[in-house]
């Protein structure tokens, strides 16, 4: 949950609109920001439900070509898998919380260990993406997508809609979201660990 919840929440129209405006995506297409927001919103919706990714600017053919839509289908399946993993993690966390409801100190220790481990890894990855974004971004795609399906020409509509600068900012935001979530879990875990009643051994 610490790893996935924050980054998945970034897949929303408010964040994507702000990043696209920052990197002048509307100007690149020669359309209004509202039109880019509409098309991007449809694509985000397809991302979560496995849609057709045939969004288009008013009066035009679908923005993405067949190969670009195929890649977005791969991304959609990955996102759906990560959502399922997050839901399962939430169910397990709630079940374990109930099981250990009388052991607040143990709860706190588990939360501190998990948050510290995930937060440390996220910090390292954030630094890697900050100083070597292109190799790290390529390695990510090589790990999760079939070979050759994620490489597009610089002028492709998909790259124009989501340029490299967009993903650089989004990657750092995702790392920050993980670290922030880890900090919240750390604070809660520390309070549980400190507030737990101390037990003493019988003589």
Give per-residue pLDDT as tens, 123-139.
898 899 989 999 999 99
Report d(CA 133, CA 98) in Å as an integer: 41
Which SS3 state, helix, strand or coil, does residue 64 take? coil
- Percentage of the residues of the chain whose pLDDT score is greater than 90: 64
Contact criterion met (CB below 8 Å) for 29 and 159: no
pLDDT at 44: 95
pLDDT tens, residue by residue, 63-122: 999 999 999 999 999 999 999 999 999 999 889 888 988 888 888 888 899 999 998 998
pLDDT at 198: 58
C-alpha dihedral (146, 136, 182, 176), degrees to nearest 10: -120
Is pTM beyond 0.75? Reply is yes
pLDDT at 22: 96
DSSP classification of residue 100: T
CA angle 89, 95, 98 (to 5 degrees): 140
pLDDT tens, residue by residue, 88-100: 999 998 898 889 8
Count of alpha carbons within 13 angstroms of residue 138, beta-carbon side:
7
Taking the domains of the chain in order of start, what are their residue ranges? 5-195
């Amino acid at each position: 949950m610490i790893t996935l919840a924050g980054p998945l929440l970034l897949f929303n129209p408010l964040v994507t609109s702000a990043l696209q405006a920052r990197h002048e995506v509307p100007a690149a297409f020669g359309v209004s920001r509202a039109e880019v927001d509409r098309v991007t919103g449809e694509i985000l919706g397809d991302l979560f439900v496995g849609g057709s990714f045939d969004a288009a600017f008013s009066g035009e053919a679908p923005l993405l070509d067949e190969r670009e839509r195929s890649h977005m289908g791969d991304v959609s399946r990955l996102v759906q898998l990560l959502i399922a993993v997050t839901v399962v993690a939430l169910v397990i966390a709630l079940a374990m919380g109930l099981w250990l409801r009388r052991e607040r100190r143990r709860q706190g220790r588990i939360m501190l260990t998990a948050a510290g481990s995930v937060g440390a890894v996220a910090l390292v990855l954030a630094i890697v993406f900050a100083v070597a974004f292109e190799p790290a971004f390529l390695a990510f795609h090589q790990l999760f997508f079939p070979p050759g399906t994620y490489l597009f020409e610089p002028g492709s509509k998909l790259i124009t809609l989501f340029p490299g600068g967009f993903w650089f900012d989004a990657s750092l935001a995702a790392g920050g979201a993980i670290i922030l979530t880890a900090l919240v879990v750390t604070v809660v875990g520390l309070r549980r660990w400190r507030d737990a009643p101390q037990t003493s051994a019988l003589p």
